[in-house]
Structure 1
Amino acid sequence: MPPSPSRPKSKARIAAQRGGHLAEFLAGWLLRAKFYRLLARRYKTPLGEIDLVAERFGTIVFVEVKARASARLEAEALEAVNQARILRAAAYWQARHPRLADRPCRFDVIFLAPGHWPRHVINAFDAN
């Protein structure tokens, strides 16, 4: 979806967006190191965006990446995950990829904070 042409983005918004892209890049490398195969990055749908879509051992993994200034803010970041948006976007992705739609899927979150190892929360929330 193209950005709205009505207002230019602020410098703070641009910096936050670049930080988010860097976090997604690092999370992608973390997943590759764990033998995941990346299927999509920043998958945009009319219903929302999925940061990363990966596959490992036949399971499709929808990954939300959360970067925070401090590792102490992880709990807050997990609460900020819009699960309904991710579930809708994942259903859209599965509808667009019917040959992979019958595979099991799960929803993970990767937390990134400066000075700390990334934390990969497997099966962070349920699809129900």
Structure 2
Amino acid sequence: MTVDRAAARSARGKKARRRGRMLEYVALVHLMLKGYRILGFRLPMPQGEIDILAQKGKRLAVIEVKSRGDADAALTAVTAIQQDRLWEAGLALQETRPQLAALDLNIDLYTLTPGRWPRHTKNAFEKIERF
């Protein structure tokens, strides 16, 4: 019985990861059509993975891709800890890549919800100091 549950859970997880990756490709294409230059995709960082790193003009966007039942659920799915990690990853990239240092760093949210057009929320998470 326990083995069956574990196998079912593993299969659900595999399906969710596959769907998530497919939705990241949707986000990539949509962002390119909007004029963004993709600088990184599934970029591993010590702070955590950056789903998409993109540039448009002087704007550097670290983009988190979420799929949820509605946009509000996607927004709340990105915890304060994850927001901090995204900021830290973006700042670390700017420190290690001189060509990115002069760009304005933003953390964006790209949401995909059933029956709705994809939504790109620019600067979804303001950098706040936490004590």
Tell me the TM-score normalized by structure 1.
0.84
CA distance in 2, matches of 1:99, 1:24: 25
1:59 aligns to what? Answer: 59
2:84 aligns to what? Answer: 84
What amino acid is aligned across from residue 39 of structure 1 in structure 2? L
Please say if 1:111 is aligned against 2:111: yes
1:75 aligns to what? Answer: 72
| Count of equivalent residues | 119
Q: Any conservation in 2 of the 1:45–1:89 contact (CA below 8 Å)?
A: yes
Q: CA deviation at 1:66?
A: 0.5
Aligned positions of 1:1-128 closer than 5 A: 10-68=10-68, 70-71=69-70, 74-81=71-78, 82-128=82-128
What amino acid is aligned across from residue 117 of structure 1 in structure 2? W
Q: Cα RMSD between the aligned structures?
A: 1.9
In terms of fraction of residues, the more strand-rich structure is: 1
2:3 aligns to what? Answer: none
Any idea what SS the aligned residue of 1:125 has?
coil
Identify unmatched segments of 5+ residues in structure 1. Answer: 1-7
CA distance in 2, matches of 1:29, 1:94: 24
Any idea what SS the aligned residue of 2:19 has?
helix
Q: CA deviation at 1:25?
A: 0.5
1:5 aligns to what? Answer: none
Q: Any conservation in 1 of the 2:108–2:123 contact (CA below 8 Å)?
A: yes
Tell me the TM-score normalized by structure 2.
0.82
